[in-house]
Structure 1
Amino acid sequence: MQDFTYHDVSKMIDHSLLNPTLCVADLESGIELAIAYDVASVCIMPYHLRRCAELLAGTDVQPSTTIGFPHGGHTTAIKRAEASRAVDDGCQELDMVINISKTLSGDWDYVQQDIAAVIEVAHAADRKVKVIFENCYLRDDQKIRLCTICTDLKADWVKTSTGYGTGGATHDDLKLMRQHSGDHVQVKAAGGVRDLDALLAVRELGVTRCGASRTAEMMDQARQRLGLPTIDVKASGSAGY
């Protein structure tokens, strides 16, 4: 007897369509795959967000996109404008990258104001925000400080990484983020979770979302273990985290 249901795991997945070499056909087929597997969201390049929201209308899959991605070095004004445009284009969840340079410089006032700008736009429109730390570049004390800031600002998730840094989600980082974030802040893993067992392992650590490009493989494994019929979806190029 498995200790999870299909939706316990499918609704953890943000299907990633962020690789810059994906063409429109790849994005469209990736959205179809996400609908077929009934995941939590599609995280898509901003230019295709409006189309993504149209295709997801009437489904239980949310349209999501990125802000300040992947390096976080955009000015706060640009991140705010990106967030506003994402809301206008139908985004329900925004994955924003902190200013990594300012974090490493210890300019915490700037970092907090930068995060707050996106959260203010999103929450005013009843949208949710995932704040990406890019932990591979940070010390533990910096990660903890970011968790405190995100807790104070009422971020909806703290997230390990973009998937485009030098490392992805580690169990140590996920434990640290869960320990130092408020109960109202969820934790998202991104980078390195590539099969069902890995997904179940981070779930045990308190992770509620996971950025994934190998959605079909993970969900096929889940369906097989649960004795569910196979889903036949052919989606090309769903590379990302």
Structure 2
Amino acid sequence: MIIKEYTLDKLSRMIDHTNLHAFASNDDMIKLCEEAKDYHFKMVAINQVQSSICYNELKNTDIDIGAAISFPLGQTTIESKLFDTKNAIENGANEIDYVINITELKNKSYAYIEEEMLEMVKLCHENSVLIKVIFENAYLTNEEITKVAEIAKEVKPDFIKTSTGFGPSGAKIEDVKLMKSIVGNDVLVKAAGGIRNSDDFLAMISAGADRIGTSSGVKIIEALKQRMKYDDVDTVKIGR
């Protein structure tokens, strides 16, 4: 195990600040962006339709706009995912989180999963857009998680991601460890879903996650700030 030190800002920059509620208003999006600026989060994670409003709020910052594609079920065609991705990019998104076609994975149509990933990665990288592949592990066996991770290791999206947060369960430590053990340093891992406190946040990083999707980012960073103040330290040590 290697012990790494993280400043508070570095920890903030590992957070995708999230509001994916169907009922989220424009005011909610503006609030999300303001919080992202206040805490210097890496990205706002939003539904595709809200790409332009968040772009307008964040265009002069280093905070990314992350659009969710085929979310949360993944049950759209490759062509539909590509169309929606193009539209999101045109409206200002510079990160894409898409859900794989879980039905095709269950059908053991691995060539389909690979083609989908190849096409999505090609489109995003041609536009200098970062891409994350959402597995939705709550519906998958370890064998299926392993298979998609092996495909990702070859195709090389920027991240593979545990969950949407809308499934029956979210990120699990054992899933993060499994995914990371397969892709190694070739692909990064994002943990998302149910990460609501600083202990869970740090545990996911220790397990191998380099990005955390959460709607509790403000709460988490405030808790870490208080912890660091109490311990009179400038960094948090995390074993990985």
Instruction: Report if TM-score (shorter chain) is over 0.5.
Output: yes
The equivalent of 1:147 in structure 2 is 149
The equivalent of 2:210 in structure 1 is 208
The equivalent of 2:201 in structure 1 is 199
1:3 offset after TM fit, Å?
4.4
Deviations 1:47-104 (Å, cap 9, x if unpaired)?
Answer: 1101211211222211111111110011110101111111111211100100011111
The equivalent of 2:101 in structure 1 is 99
The equivalent of 1:239 in structure 2 is none
How many positions carry a matched residue from both structures?
Answer: 227
What amino acid does structure 2 have at the position aligned with 1:83?
T
SS in 1 for 2:6: coil
2: distance between equivalents of 1:68 and 1:134? 12
Matched, 1:64 2:34: no
Percent of paired sites with the same residue: 33
Describe how 1:5-154 pairs up with structure 2 within 5 A: 5-154=7-156
Deviations 1:179-217 (Å, cap 9, x if unpaired)?
Answer: 011412000001121111111111111211111001111
Task: Give the aligned CA root-mean-square deviation in angstroms.
Answer: 1.5
2: distance between equivalents of 1:137 and 1:19? 21
2: distance between equivalents of 1:62 and 1:225? 28
1: distance between equivalents of 2:47 and 2:82? 17
Describe how 1:219-234 pairs up with structure 2 within 5 A: 219-227=221-229
SS in 2 for 1:26: helix
Deviations 1:32-57 (Å, cap 9, x if unpaired)?
Answer: 11111110100112111012112112
SS in 2 for 1:193: coil
Contact 2:26–2:53 under 8 Å retained in 1: no
Structure 1: where are the runs of 5+ without partners? 229-241
Structure 2: where are the runs of 5+ without partners? 231-240
Calculate the TM-score normalised by the size of structure 2.
0.91
1: distance between equivalents of 2:98 and 2:152? 12
2: distance between equivalents of 1:174 and 1:149? 16
1:133 offset after TM fit, Å?
0.2
2: distance between equivalents of 1:30 and 1:63? 11
Deviations 1:102-129 (Å, cap 9, x if unpaired)?
Answer: 1111111111111222111101011111
SS in 1 for 2:132: strand
1: distance between equivalents of 2:28 and 2:169? 25
2: distance between equivalents of 1:35 and 1:120? 30
What amino acid does structure 2 have at the position aligned with 1:107?
S
1:226 offset after TM fit, Å?
2.9
